[in-house]
Amino acid sequence: MKPPRTILASIALAPLVLLIAASQAHAQTALTSPTLYRLDRGSTYQSGCFDPCLCPMLEQAAVRGTLRLAPAGSDWLYDYYKVSDVNWTVAFGNSELRITGSGTYTIGGEFALVHRLELDLAIGDNPVQHFDSGQVPVNAAFPAIDVAVSLHGQYCFDTVIHVVTTPVPLDQIHLYRLLSDTTFQRGCFVQRSFVALYLLFLEI
């Protein structure tokens, strides 16, 4: 007995329905303008040994700071974003490590949402290095982002940054503008104490 045509049609259309649903889901959550993000609790910096290596060296610290995401196009499966103004600080006791850079972020997928964060980062005085999360499943509702980037895929000796970030609420963003009294000076300056001593010497 042959199955009814309606059932066959439903089976044939099922992948197409899933594809359209996935495409609509990622399109509806896309950012439409440049957005300031702030690192949230759970963002960490790790450097040392990961599996399968068994060396005991591993340092870990919290990361704080901001970055900016701006739309950079889309297609029927993915939304693309430019990451800029990465400005992070890692606190190690009394010392701090500065991280700056930029990169790209992609989110979308055919049947399930996946995303990928790629960053070119300068850590401290070191040259710029390429960090990549690879294409991994989304585990936070966009526009929130929760993903780990690394130099070597978290293999043996590596540096891993777990990025947990959400947009900064608009009421917490305060813009400042430089006024006309703002100046730029370059040259040799003398401390006031020396100037006062020099004037006193002239009076004598």
Percentages of the chain per state (helix, strand, coil), in multiples of 5: 20, 45, 35
Q: What are phi and psi of 201, to 5 degrees?
A: -65, -40
CA atoms within 13 A on the CB side of 78: 12
Query: pTM to 2 decimals?
Result: 0.75
pLDDT number for residue 17: 41
What's the rounded Cα separation, in Å, for the pair 165 and 144?
6
| Burial readout 79-104 (b: 16 or more C-beta within 10 A, e: otherwise) | bebebebbebebeeeeeebebebbbe
Q: What is the DSSP letter of 151?
A: S
Average pLDDT, the chain: 84
What is the rounded average pLDDT of the residues 116-136? 97
More confident position, 196 or 155 = 155
Name the residue with higher pLDDT: 59 or 55: 59
Task: Please compute the mean of the pLDDT values over residues 155-173 and round it to a whole number.
Answer: 93
Judge whether 168 and 149 are in contact, CB under 8 Å: no
The fraction of the chain above a pLDDT of 90, given in percent, is: 58
- pLDDT digit string, tens, across residues 95-113: 899 999 999 999 999 889 9
The single-letter DSSP state of residue 172 is G
Which pLDDT score, from 0 to 100, does residue 52 have? 83
Nearest to 151 by CA among 113, 82, 197, 101: 101
What is the rounded average pLDDT of the residues 5-13? Answer: 47
Domains of the chain: 5-183 (2.40.160)
